[in-house]
Chains A and B, each alone.
Chain A
Amino acid sequence: MSIRVTNVQRMCFDDGPGIRTTVFLKGCSLHCPWCSNPENIRYEKQEYHSLSHKKGIYGRDYEPEELLEELLIDRKYWGTDGGVTFSGGEALLQAEGLEPVWKRLKKEGIHIAGETALFVPEKQVEIAEKYIDYFYVDVKLLDNKMCKDILGGDTAQYLKNVKKLAEDKADIHFRVPCSEEYVLDVENVRKLLAFFRNYSFYPIELFGIHDLGKAKYETLGQEMPEFHPVSMEMLEDFKVMLIQNGCKADVITI
């Protein structure tokens, strides 16, 4: 089974411990309005026009061996702490196709991280947790109606998957993309606090959503939706609230 990838990015320092190579997989089960990787939302290949009017295609199908070969070029820089991160889009949506790649990396003793929103069927979580050493799990909108309307996801499925990962003792690191309008909305904050109280054992990284994806929207002939950048003060306030609720939270820059 081939794997649909938009980019293999080498020398990443933000996607897990150490020095890593990150694979951006095409296709997502959500469509977050603040998404900074719009080229990874749809699974279908998409034509783009770069700012210098160069045409290209987002999305390339790799056979597992081919992807492995490209990944392993930078193996010597990973050491024991670094490795490969699978991001997206939704990394777990292609779990079946990725399984041979993960299996091989695992066999070679390479550290594997996955960035997921967990809005995927349980079966895919089961495959992933056999191999992934380090999960970044997004926490976004927890009200089912809001989540469905704005992101297109079912919170019941999400919560079930989080529970499963936690029960199976996966190494979870929560990531919360914060914006005034959405995630830090008063109602959602209340739900987030309740959620995190159940998972206070795991570290939480808060970050403000940014408009760095703007140029990518333009290459697709789209406009990036407008939103208010969240202030550092708001992020810090939320962090303090989380800490006061017994959680381990930190503000990061991406």
Chain B
Amino acid sequence: MNSEKELYENKKELLESYKLKRNVFCSQFGEYADKGMFEEAFHELCEHMEIKLNKDSFVYFLDFGYQFDTSIQNITPDYRIILCSGIRQLLYDNGELENDFCRRYNSVLLDILKLTERIGKELESQKPENDTEKIIWFENIAEKPAESFREALQRILFLNQLLWQTGSKLVGLGRLDKLLYPYYEQDLLCGMITEGQAVSAVKEFLTVLHQHYWFKSAALMGDTGQVIVLGGLEQENEYSYNDLTYLFLRLVEELGLSDPKLVLRVSRHMPQKLMCAAVDCMKTGNGSPLLSNDDVIIPCLEGFGIVKTDAYKYATSACWEPLVAGKSSAMNNQTGLAYLKALKNLLVEERLDKIETFERFREKYLFHLKYEVRECLNNLKHQKYKRNTVYSIFIEGCRENKKDIVDGGALYHNIGMTTVGLGNTVNSLLNIKKLVFETKEYSLVDVKRMSILNFEGCEEIVERLKDSEIRYGKDDAEAMELTNEILRFVTEQTKDFHTATGGRVKFGVSSPAYIMDASRNEASFDGRRKGEPLTVHISNENATSYTEIMNFAAGLDYAGNRFNGNVVDLIVNPSFMERHKDNFAVLLLRGIEAGFFQLQTNVISSETLIQAKAAPEKFSGLIVRVWGFSAYFVELPESYQNLLIRRALQNEGKTA
């Protein structure tokens, strides 16, 4: 068994034991942390945490004894702040310290300074590799902006480390090719580093971030949200990328690690060569990069009210949700809408014999969906967040507004809602239309009975439903129209909602809940029995070509607030990819032009997955894509492994 998996499985006990050890010499921390006294707890942390240095080129350590409880997660800080300024320059003037936020803000910054001084002293006494350089970096950080490429990488790691250490999860890394390029270019030009040294530095940077992924993983092993965003439109028609874009793609391809993950912002204006490099990375099966289509997403962000220049700066939070990196506290996954629940409620609560037409049935469905949406909004209205002041320092807007993230200090503080089961709902509605209202082979009462009894005694209909064409995820005009109607309806119901701090709600069709919610949803009239997984994002293994799925995705209307992650999820056979790599890149470019929103791949064969499940010890490095992240297959729960095997078999035209 993989040791990381063991660590993750015993995470709770392990962290508890670290806490107990810490209590011996710093008992106050626990009290402060428990009471939500962030700054006091942070002070204790900076005073007492263990500083671990090793042979790596960069300093990066986590002390598991200090565990914070914060709900600020799933966002990307503005790393520019720590790169472009010394920490002392960020302090408020003394005159402003009457304000509670300013006082807390300054106290955290002073403690960060204290920690950097402690690190400096440890470096002097322990003298690890490259100690001189590291000592200078930790001296500079107090007063000066970062001056070199390696120093910039160290600062990013330092802030990243602080955010993980203070309990935030799914800490994004932002658009690093753009952010780091000036340092890289300058160092190369003045001969401060060679290209080879830059490559080694980025490699070490990635490796350092991969460490402790068991600790960083949230709901599933690999669910770390360590996303590096690359490339993207600078303004209309102008696609920006550089040597670092290629370097990150190449190194993630070579390293074969589950972390960090890559998102490549793509556009019809990007060069084909870059797409080929992305496909080379995908081809390894590591799930990176997820492609995020600027041509579709940026207009959606602008349409939602995000300032144009900010819309062009978007990154994604942990998986796929577009947000303005460093300016948004757009916490996602705060509540989940289950489309199938409304269908179940309709069947249970309505006089079915009175519904005579499909139009009426559809109206009834939307009526019940309205109540599900309301429940979600109600959850959002009453959300309470526990602060992490470190994050508030490094998100634009908080300093200017003198307001914490939890009080709506960030420039953008909209909120994300996930949705699940749209594919199952659309397919069920279309089957009901055909078999109940057109051919009249079944009544709605039959449908209800089958759902409640989980198709017991009517196996033949399950086969029939499963055999019938699965239309969600194909370029079927009726399926697309119905999908859009439901999506627009949810927008109608959510567009006027505001959170306690004035944020608005956004949603998308991608969801992490396709397995977690499976048992909560009754059998559905697409032939899915209770407990079987729900549709994964925008996918359809029965489609005969990827163009069918891409056309479907391109036909959906993502405007309004419907842009919070809409991923086409493809299973690609490795031998197909091997033979058709170049054409696959062209296909993706044309799909971008057609207008898919986002796309991710699992380049995997059923044979490999089946072998890996049977002999996990031989496949410890096998990476797959689940939800919106890359993870080691053997470290996933069996239900996720089985679903991937089933989908791979279907993709190969074999019976699952």
> A: which residues have CB within 8 A of B?
9-11, 13, 18-19, 51-52, 54, 73-74, 76-79, 253
Contacts and interface: CB of A to CB of B under 8 A. Distances in A.
B364 to A, nearest CB: 33
Given A13-B579, A18-B583, A51-B655, A76 B545 contact: no
B579 A77 contact: no
A18 B586 contact: yes
B322 interface: no
A131 to B, nearest CB: 24
A79 to B, nearest CB: 7
A76 B594 CA distance: 7
Nearest to B590: A77
Nearest to A8: B544
B268 to A, nearest CB: 11
Contacts of A74: 545, 547, 551
B594 A11 contact: no
A76 B590 contact: yes
A73 B477 CA distance: 12
A79 B655 CA distance: 34
Contacts of A253: 579
A211 to B, nearest CB: 15
A5 B362 CA distance: 37
Q: Which of B547, B584, B593 has the most CB of A within 10 A?
A: B547
A77 B595 CA distance: 12
B580 interface: yes
Contacts of B463: 52
Nearest to B475: A73
A76 B555 CA distance: 13
A11 B576 CA distance: 12
Interface residues of B, number: 20
Interface string B583-607: 1101100110110000000000000
A11 B587 contact: yes
A99 to B, nearest CB: 27
A51 B653 CA distance: 11
A19 B546 CA distance: 12
26 contacts: A10-B544, A10-B545, A10-B547, A11-B545, A11-B546, A11-B547, A11-B587, A13-B580, A13-B583, A18-B583, A19-B583, A19-B586, A19-B590, A51-B655, A52-B463, A52-B467, A73-B475, A73-B547, A74-B551, A76-B590, A76-B593, A76-B594, A77-B547, A77-B587, A77-B590, A79-B586
What 10 A-B pairs are tightest by C-beta distance, nearest first? A11-B545, A10-B545, A13-B580, A77-B590, A13-B583, A74-B547, A11-B547, A76-B594, A10-B547, A77-B547
B548 interface: yes
Nearest to B591: A77
Nearest to B654: A51
Given A74-B551, A76-B594, 18 more contacts: A10-B545, A10-B547, A10-B548, A11-B545, A11-B546, A11-B547, A13-B579, A19-B583, A19-B586, A19-B587, A54-B467, A73-B475, A74-B545, A76-B593, A77-B590, A77-B594, A78-B590, A79-B586
Given A11-B546, A79-B586, A73 B551 contact: yes
Nearest to B593: A76
A52 B466 CA distance: 11
Contacts of B546: 11
A116 to B, nearest CB: 23
Contact of A9 (B544, B580, B594): B544
Contacts of A79: 586, 590
Nearest to A74: B547
Contacts of B584: 13
Contacts of A13: 579-580, 583-584
A52 B462 CA distance: 13
Contacts of B590: 19, 76-79
A77 B554 CA distance: 13
A19 B585 CA distance: 11
Nearest to A12: B545
A103 B648 CA distance: 40
A79 B586 CA distance: 9
A52 B580 CA distance: 30
Contact of B545 (A9, A18, A52, A54): A9
Interface in B95-151: none
A11 B572 CA distance: 13
Nearest to B586: A19
A233 B545 CA distance: 33
B480 to A, nearest CB: 13
Interface string B505-517: 0000000000000
A119 to B, nearest CB: 29
A99 B286 CA distance: 47
A51 B467 CA distance: 12
A19 B591 CA distance: 12
B445 to A, nearest CB: 28
Contacts of A11: 545-547, 587
Contacts of B587: 11, 19, 77
A172 to B, nearest CB: 22
A72 to B, nearest CB: 12
Nearest to A20: B583
A51 B654 CA distance: 10
Interface in B536-554: 544-548, 551
A79 B590 CA distance: 8
A54 B468 CA distance: 11
B7 to A, nearest CB: 43
Contact of A52 (B475, B583, B594, B655): B655
Contacts of B583: 13, 18-19
Contacts of A78: 590
Contacts of A19: 583, 586-587, 590
A180 to B, nearest CB: 24
Contacts of A18: 583, 586
Contacts of A51: 655
B479 to A, nearest CB: 14
